[in-house]
Structures are given as C-alpha cells and as structure tokens.
Amino acid sequence: MNNKSVKNIDEAIEQVGDVAKDLYVVKELMKVLSDKIVAIQTLVLRYEKSQQEAKGLLLYQTIRDVKPMGVLSQECIIKLENSYEQLSEQHKILIVEVNSHE
C-alpha cells in the first residue's frame, strides 16, 4: 500500500468515527425530546381532565342554584353555554401552544 491510500483509509475511519459520535448525540437528543413530548402530552391530558371537571362543577352549581325554581331559566342556559364556549376557547389556545412547541 502506498502512503496516500493509508492516509485516505485513516481519514475515512476518522470520518466514520465523527459520524458515529454525531449519531449518538442525535440519539440522545431524541430521547430528551421524547421525554419532553410525553411531559407535554401529560400536561394536556391533565388540562383536559380539569376542563371536564370544571364543566361538571359549573353545571352542578348552576343546577343547584336554580333547583328551587324547578326548571332551568333561559338566562341560566345562556350562562352555561357561554361558560362552555370560554372553556373550549381556552382549551383550543392551549392545544395550539402545545403543538407549536412540538
């Protein structure tokens, strides 16, 4: 073998080593990103659960407040619908924010 081909082989081995290091770094970054995505998904699920609980509590309180009347008044129904729309809008904003971080 001449000196030039040995030098090329050494350079090739060095380049393969560099690529392997880069791949390792990428693999580790993917693990971190995966953990972050799971954390974000967990937060979204917790938010959705709290949103459902808030809707249920709001409905319970509204019904409890108007129960003596025997029927839900139109004003109470509108109040419930508005509250639901506000919660839905907040949920949409959170989902957009979470998606933009992914």
Task: Band the pLDDT of 17: cuts 50, 70, 90.
Answer: confident
d(CA 60, CA 80): 11
Mean pLDDT, the chain, integer: 74
Residue 21 tokens read as 């290091």
The answer to whether the predicted template modeling score (pTM) of the entire model surpasses 0.85 is no
pLDDT of 89 > 80? The answer is: no
* Contact indicator for 54, 63 with CB cutoff of 8 Å: no
Record the tokens describing residue 97, joined without a space: 């924010």
Higher pLDDT pick, 31 / 7: 31
Q: Is the pLDDT of residue 101 over 70?
A: no
Q: Is there a contact between 95 and 44 (Cβ–Cβ < 8 Å)?
A: yes
